[in-house]
Structure 1
């Protein structure tokens, strides 16, 4: 018989964390923590937020935050994360580190939309204060607090704090699966690049300025090795071919188990942001095909965008565009311009 001090979370909650979250299931106060497979301790912290920890933790134990659904319609990584919770709970996946699982914009997930009022992944690092009436603002606060509290109890040893934020892209890409690394001003981590290689990530995009994404927040405010993964295209729940993302899923499971997976045969190609297109008004025009793929290359002197008197012309021999989107609100990013910096970047990893 289970003691009252260690209740067992209803099987349906851990076995299908996604379904229970979408349904708004909230455990009773005396059922918000307990144990599951292999003595793993769990704590339900908030809507879509679950912490899992091994019974025994050595000094310097790694702490890993894994998030998905910061955009509510990016369903494949949400499903992967729910299956991961199930497998850990049933003892089918090992966990030797502290784990915080976050399903980001739960209300948008329920509505099968990207967001309700504002892009949640542009509201971190305090930017939510600029849109206090936004439906997303309180969730940005909650996710910042969840990360801060989780990492406050984490080891400060190098490489002990990780954040993997999983997304899917709106459009096709020359590199179907790629990663974005936030700008911190610190040397780039070889361990992160090797993990990305193990995860079959083809390309890495390096930001050169601070941003307001969730991975920027955890890197800056929490000292985490953070990355944003783009694992494919947006599709409705139940319509994803999850076998396409097995590389990332297996690499994540190795990270959480504390085991090394297959050594990557090569590291990802690297691209560095050199400029961005900002939509200044409703007159903004992207002079591209509507279905242009991420990382499409353009030659020098190609005109890519106009907005009144503003005009963006390619100035390097080759620039690639990532996340082109003319439908964003004025003042927001409508695209990133990048150039390849693979050789220089990989030579400086530490």
Structure 2
């Protein structure tokens, strides 16, 4: 029997190159939105850049994993990785034992080779898009919230049953080339997540201490998923990425989807906890660091890092590290995060 992925009906092109299919704006005909591919994996095209894949056999304990990339349209390497992952699962060259929702986030920005059109999509979740109804990104934020909510609605609630891996690349260099951010939910952090991050060759984890408006914050808080944001390298145009630099995250994700352990003895990443935020209050804002300062650059006590009218940010601890410095954001938004290392305390409290 010929599988739907093997017929010349346009579905082969979708699964073989989900990225190209999505960038072209192709939408399947009403009778071509789902099918079965090699190995019995069932798939359903749900929306532009949104694809559901499920193994032939589902049980009450089947894990559900949301894998997203391209929430910022110019962060191309993880988008390419997800497209190759879809192809390999469709060809039965990568195992799938869980439900998988693949999401390419800001598709319009991907097509325009820009980060976003009007507003940073990764600041519009948890309902913040309702405050910016005229933003080009607002409808996409609402659609991605709905996609995640519907996907996790039927997933079991026991620990480890719901995952969200949101993959990004950083604008600038970093003292840790690959690092992760874990959202604040009020719950203790998961040892399983830290072990998986170690397998993904993640060197450092940034722990948020307040709720946010990122996609991983939304899925962690609203969908009760074990969620993380991965920063895996530098922003590059499509086709210019050295994907070997991302092999750790790619392999770890494939092991997660296959239900295998991968490198069980991987070293756990270092942990850094957010202690403050530098906020751009007006257009008079000045960030008093070099324009190319790397993420996680340390600064000593007493150093003034930013000023904006009467506002000053002065380092209060013996050492604080600056992450995501960006003086060009709109007033009212974050221009940098300040973190301190808390590795020993964090690892002792994992559950």
Aligned residues: 349
- Unmatched 5+ stretches in structure 1: none
Distance 1:267 1:3, change over 3 A: closer
Give CA-to-partner distance per residue, 1:197-245, whole Å, 9 cap, x none: 0000000000000000000000000000000000000000000000001
The structural deviation recorded for 1:158 is 1.5
Secondary structure at 1:251 match in 2: helix
Cα RMSD (Å): 1.3
**8 Å Cα contact 1:9-1:33 kept in structure 2:** no
1:349 aligns with 2:350: yes
Distance 1:339 1:44, change over 3 A: same
Q: Partner of 1:197 in structure 2?
A: 198
Q: Partner of 1:291 in structure 2?
A: 292
**8 Å Cα contact 2:3-2:37 kept in structure 1:** no
Mapping 1:215-294, distance limit 5 Å: 215-294=216-295
The structural deviation recorded for 1:58 is 2.1
Distance in 2, Cα, partners of 1:263 & 1:91: 24
The structural deviation recorded for 1:161 is 0.1
Q: Partner of 2:323 in structure 1?
A: 322
Distance in 2, Cα, partners of 1:137 & 1:71: 14
Distance in 2, Cα, partners of 1:280 & 1:291: 22
Q: Partner of 2:63 in structure 1?
A: 62
Give CA-to-partner distance per residue, 1:75-102, whole Å, 9 cap, x none: 0000000000000000000000000000
Q: Partner of 2:176 in structure 1?
A: 175
Runs of 4+ in 1 over 3 A off after TM superposition: 1-4, 6-9
**8 Å Cα contact 1:273-1:337 kept in structure 2:** yes
The structural deviation recorded for 1:266 is 1.4
Distance in 2, Cα, partners of 1:142 & 1:188: 28
**8 Å Cα contact 1:62-1:160 kept in structure 2:** yes
Q: Partner of 1:185 in structure 2?
A: 186
Distance in 2, Cα, partners of 1:38 & 1:27: 22
Q: Partner of 1:48 in structure 2?
A: 49
Distance 1:3 1:247, change over 3 A: closer
Give CA-to-partner distance per residue, 1:252-308, whole Å, 9 cap, x none: 000000011012331000000000001000000000000000000000000000000
